[in-house]
A and B are shown apart, each in its own frame.
Chain A
Amino acid sequence: MSMPSVTDRMPRRAAGVAAGLFGLVGIVVVASLVAGAWPMLGEPRSVANLIGAVWDPLRGRFGMAPFVVGTAAVTLAALLIAVPVALGAAVTVVHQMGALMREWTLRVLAVLTAVPSVVFGWWGLQMVVPWVRNRVGGPGYSLLAAGIVLALMILPTLSLFFAQSLGQVPKVLREGSAALGATADQTLLRVELPVAMPALVNGLVVGLARALGETMAVQMVIGGQTALPRGLADPGATLTTQIFTDITAFPPGTAGHAVLDIMALLLIAAMYVLVRAAERWGGL
């Protein structure tokens, strides 16, 4: 657009200042974490210390491997449970429901995405932890319990995205497939899912990010053990829960706090990679 009018200059500047401030927030977040992490990142010995498996702050051992493993295991378990269920829910919503029922289901799903994570944590303590203790063994507080709680937590988000992705598949494609003699199953597997794939990937990434970043629901049921877990029934900790439990234990300026800053940087880097991955392989 040419000819920017005089009355437009001030509002444009104001909006630009807001966007600049927004950028500043991003810079401050990363810069303050890097500044805090610097003492630990500087020397090779401490980097070797950081990738180790022993977390013993009193002896100066800051191995982050237990938390990276915990985060990966919990997130993976949550996705393995939630993705099939969400796909099933999406197929049911899109194919088996009338218009009115579908609209209401989608609305309820949207409300369920807003259920606070502490409510899931409370439920985890109430039902999942005892269930794991009785059925699988161990103390009950475990990576498995955290995975189950997280799975339920991300289920509405995943279902909503998957339902929207499948709903966007043009009707002509389905009808064409049926006209060629394909069964409903064949149409679903060979036409609808491939066509919806970019949008499905997008939803998967959003669910993955929520699982990866969740703190409270996981903290309440995972047990907070800092040793490297050997199985899903073992208690453990994740990057987020360890930041949460140690944030006041190690005041800023100590080596322990610097390690928390490094964990936070790892999480932000992971989120940035997910954002770029969703852009590259997802829809939109």
Chain B
Amino acid sequence: MGRGRRLYGLSAVLAALGLAGFALVLGSLLKSGLPILTWHFLTSSGPGGIGPEILNTAVLCAIALVVTVPLGLMVAVYQGEYLRRRSRRVRELDHLRATLMSAPTIVVALVIYRVAVGWWHWPVSLMTGALALAVINWPFMVAVSRSALASVPDSYREASLALGASRFETVIKVVIPAALGNLIEGIGMSLARLAGESAALIVTAGVNVSQHWSLWGPGETLAVHIWYIRTEGLVSGRDAEAAATGLTLMIGISVVLWLASRAARLFGRSQGGYDGA
């Protein structure tokens, strides 16, 4: 390393520092959680088991995705394919989307708590939690769809329109298929983000699992379970149980992201798609 490369050396040291931080997190998670991560732990309910939490997490994420994927795509199509590119309405919708996307999820929970629980008399339940997740994920899904659609070159659209297709036919048969890889990757990312949500769900879906499972009953998720047993719970061995739950959640998220990127490649992920925003 020559004399003029001190900053590169400093950068490597800093990068190693960051890496060490994450090694500490993952290492302590594995050390505490792995010994009790058994099949019994994953499937049983009550203390020492997270079966219901896995089910609740899956159900909540599924409902939120089913609602927000089409809605997010529709807003993005309206902005990107129907409105003029630099029009005021496109900019206003972009501002709204960016603001809602960075709004703290606890703020969304505050609103849902007032509107759904207070005005509509919904109970603290899976349904209310799903509503909160849908509001949280909608702007994210709009962003994912916006950048996926934007990655499709305009020449595709022009060719389709020149052949006499309508805007709608162009969107359905040309633009969305071409953007599918990026869309799938973005949906995977939003699923991972939803699975890790906790603050909003503690308020709207509660910290209990009900004896008789129902969409209108309370539904604790994996992420909420980690918080609950570590800060409020009185069970013994809570560190290990929280860590094992965290490991389960991390493994689930990794599998989702891996599957999404495999599927995305199958459908032809192009450059300039989802970028971590």
Contact = CB atoms under 8 A, between A and B. Distances in A.
Interface of A: 1, 4-5, 7-8, 11-12, 14-16, 18-19, 21-23, 25-26, 28-29, 32-33, 36, 84-93, 95-96, 107, 109-123, 125-127, 152, 155, 157, 159-161, 164, 182-186, 188-189, 206, 209-210, 212-216, 219-220, 240, 243-244, 247-248, 252, 260-261, 264, 267-268, 271-272, 274-276, 278-279
**Chain B interface category by residue count:** 35 or more
Contacts of A189: 7
Interface in B256-275: 257, 261, 275
27 contacts: A7-B169, A8-B167, A8-B168, A11-B167, A11-B168, A15-B82, A22-B139, A22-B142, A85-B14, A111-B257, A114-B196, A119-B246, A125-B231, A126-B28, A155-B21, A183-B5, A184-B7, A206-B277, A212-B104, A215-B104, A243-B107, A243-B110, A261-B110, A264-B104, A272-B99, A275-B102, A278-B98
Contact of B243 (A5, A11, A122, A240): A122
Interface in B86-116: 93, 95-100, 102-111, 113-115
B77 interface: yes
Given A161-B276, A216-B198, A276 B110 contact: no
Contacts, number: 273
Given A28-B115, A123-B29, A155-B18, A16 B110 contact: no
A127 B261 CA distance: 33
Interface of B: 2-8, 10-15, 17-18, 21-22, 24-25, 28-29, 32, 71, 74-75, 77-79, 81-82, 93, 95-100, 102-111, 113-115, 118, 135, 138-139, 142, 161, 166-169, 171, 189, 192-193, 195-199, 202-203, 223-224, 226-227, 230-231, 239, 242-243, 246, 249-250, 253-254, 257, 261, 275-277
Given A96-B8, A118-B246, 7 more contacts: A29-B100, A119-B249, A123-B25, A164-B276, A183-B2, A212-B104, A215-B199
Contact of A114 (B10, B71, B192, B243): B192
A243 B114 CA distance: 13
A221 B239 CA distance: 15
A67 to B, nearest CB: 13
B111 A29 contact: yes
Nearest to A16: B78
B12 A88 contact: yes
Contacts of B189: 110, 114
Closest 3 A-B residue pairs measured CB to CB? A183-B4, A88-B14, A116-B196
A16 B97 CA distance: 15
Contacts of A116: 195-198, 223, 226, 246, 249-250, 253
A183 B3 CA distance: 8
Nearest to A124: B25
Given A118-B227, A122-B246, A185-B5, A25 B135 contact: yes
B96 A213 contact: no
A11 B77 CA distance: 10
A16 to B, nearest CB: 6
Contacts of B25: 115, 119-120, 123, 152
